[in-house]
Chain A
């Protein structure tokens, strides 16, 4: 059973850097054909994809977040991380990590999700 769990500070001050980690169990982060992703949800609003790091180590993030985003992986700990710099109140929301897949013989999209962690940006 694949499980993902987000961890990190629940409160970040404006202009500082948000850092979150997603710990993965039940699957190797460096194996298979997966897109280890971050998705966020502002309070009362919809879902926004932030970016992913592929099993090979390559990463891609949404251009809307410009150069503020970095996604990295620690294979030895089987986790991946998100850093978002220069945060503002608009970055407040629930941050989910999720596994993306394009398995033609199984599923596509995000098949496993963490429970999400609320991050508030406030002084």
Chain B
């Protein structure tokens, strides 16, 4: 299984400041034939299902604000919220769909400082 490790487990950021979440995979999720990273990021608010923010490591989902960006390749990935808004308080998960079983990171809780 591909193990996903996120860091930190939680972080508190002031409104308008940058939030950075890291995700490390136990093996590469880069598919060499098409140069795509099979890595997604989700946002989950209380009592709601997860919402797809980023797929292919850096492609924003439909309607996702541009303050959310994804970067990285191979085994190391980052989700950045460039200017934290109150509505961004949530738990964020990375997810690999490169190999079965598909797996998720443990989650990172983002709060307002």
Contacts and interface: CB of A to CB of B under 8 A. Distances in A.
Q: Do A and B come from one complex?
A: yes
Interface range on chain B: under 10, 10 to 19, 20 to 34, or 35 or more? Answer: 20 to 34
A116 B104 contact: no
Q: Helix, strand, loop or mixed for chain A's interface?
A: strand
Interface of A: 37, 46-49, 60, 62-64, 96, 98, 100, 102, 104, 107-111, 113-116
Interface in B60-113: 61-62, 93, 95, 97, 100-107
Nearest to A63: B101
B97 A107 contact: no
B104 A46 contact: yes
Nearest to B51: A113
B55 A107 contact: yes
Contacts, number: 68
B19 interface: no
Given A47-B95, A109-B95, 10 more contacts: A47-B93, A60-B100, A63-B101, A96-B50, A98-B49, A107-B59, A109-B40, A111-B61, A114-B49, A115-B49
B38 A102 contact: yes
B104 A108 contact: no
B32 interface: no
A37 B50 CA distance: 14
